Chains A and B, each alone.
Chain A
């Protein structure tokens, strides 16, 4: 884990870093950050507790604990990563550990939108490509340079065309992944919608 954490801000055009692989399908958010760590009123301390129980079980042999992965920042995962609970604490914990982007076979929906909302791009690749990367990482270090604009991942040995939802890609390029500002711009439309909705009129005031 990095000693200092600076949250991402503005446009995210390029991410480069060392890859770290976590093998397994359906890795849920309870595993990423067990519920006992949700007893907090801010996210600051979560980085050190990411995958706490899995790491304890593996006694120092978990990928996140290996010396060579100390500075890794691109996480490689398999399918349905981040399923289960909607806790944003899960991507927050990964980000605070040092993860800046995730490449996987597929992501659970709420986890994916949480990642986008905090500035951690998630890309997908076919199963075979993910497995190739994971095999490669088994023996050697892999540094990737991700070009968000062109959805490309490049390294000395491997190149990939990544998939990302167009809406997410646009948000990273414009820096509007932190959606609040964009949503606030349409305040007049929101007011109009509020008045238009049938149920607002018969809301029982108690």
Chain B
């Protein structure tokens, strides 16, 4: 059993009581809600005649269903309009802060909360969305919950949950030039598998993790869930504190000093005990691309799609399904695979640094005529910052469409969808069957830089050939 890790410390601090059978009642410090997983929870409150216990500990935004072309109200899609109206009504009724479209602070919930300074070290954070693990980048313990648990948090500010085990993933050295946080996390998921993290929180540590920016750390923690881990975190350091400082909801003046003092005490002890420990060499990681239908099915850019017999028996069934669905042959190179659509965005890679890296690749280049390419900033703030830096112009001049913020084609709940069996190069997080809106659509996950390179060539390419020139 783990001892003296950051996870243990934050869990113990928030534990309210032990429940029958060994689960704990845990206080949730910050609760984030959006339009898709909250309406039924508010409905259940009404049915049970309950109130929101601590309305100022819940914050709302709208992201999943928002159109990215025309955001004027009412939305063209009646169902989407109904969902945003329901959220507006619920927030108003229960006095919950809501960052709506046009507020300057709307966006993907996991982009918005950190940039507002809501996400802070030592907190427990829950949201009805599996990518809540993102917030672990700040040394908070953050995890996705279902709608019934959203109801519980609204009603009690607590949930019932079994304490997780802790696995440390120690990353030696540092990433080489042209290799990004996305490549590292895809590599980790490939090595450990998509279910290795079930029952675990992942602590990402080591020199390669320390060297990452806060936004890169968010990319890593974001995809913990793709490796099965409901929660992933990184011990906070100076970078963490500097990122939070002066943000809208960050502590101010003497409160800042008090916060900082406490935050600095929050990390896994040097002799803390982990339930499991994995070591890997980050300098060996290369640009990584998925070829299949789970985020674990990936290869380095210069590798071939694995042969069935090279895979462990447990991975063979899903590999066969993947070959068939993707229409790829075992042994085929991933490089030069034709792509139809290029998407830059999502809670994994829709932040300003992601847009900068992609724009740097696209500068003075043109998107292939065979490709539809679009970029969806993660939030209104990201969009504003990008415009200020002129990134929107670089994207548009290259042939990318510049869109309004939202989740967009990561899960295709708005009108941004693949058509038929189109292949997309996507900076998002899931390549499941049908994920991007077409039941036969195919998704190749990669870093935003690699998406930009694929857009230029119309096929999967090694971004290092662009940026080293």
Contacts and interface: CB of A to CB of B under 8 A. Distances in A.
A86 B130 contact: yes
B378 interface: no
A26 B258 contact: no
B contact residues, range: 35 or more
B199 interface: yes
A110 B126 CA distance: 12
A109 interface: yes
B54 A26 contact: no
A114 B156 CA distance: 18
Contacts of A80: 194-195, 198, 228
B86 A41 contact: yes
A32 to B, nearest CB: 10
Contacts of B212: none
Contacts of A145: none
Contacts of B434: 30-31, 34, 53
A176 B23 CA distance: 13
B13 interface: yes
Interface residues of A, number: 69
Contact of A57 (B17, B226, B439): B439
A108 B198 contact: yes
Interface in B276-321: 294, 314, 317-318, 321
Contact of A26 (B20, B86, B145, B195): B195
Interface stretch (A59-67, A132-140, A146-154, A166-174): A166-174
Interface string A156-180: 0000000001111111001010111
Given A24-B321, A34-B439, A40-B79, A199 B29 contact: yes
Contacts of B178: none
Given A31-B432, A197-B13, A39 B413 contact: yes
Contact of B83 (A41, A53, A176, A203): A41
Contacts of A53: 433-434, 439
Interface of B: 13-14, 16-17, 19-23, 25, 27, 29, 36-37, 39-40, 43, 48, 50, 53-54, 64-65, 77, 79-80, 82-83, 86, 117, 120, 122-123, 128-130, 132, 143-149, 151-152, 155-162, 194-195, 198-199, 225-226, 228, 230, 248-252, 255-256, 258-259, 262, 294, 314, 317-318, 321, 411-413, 430, 432-435, 437, 439
Given A56-B439, A189-B16, 4 more contacts: A34-B439, A86-B132, A180-B152, A203-B251
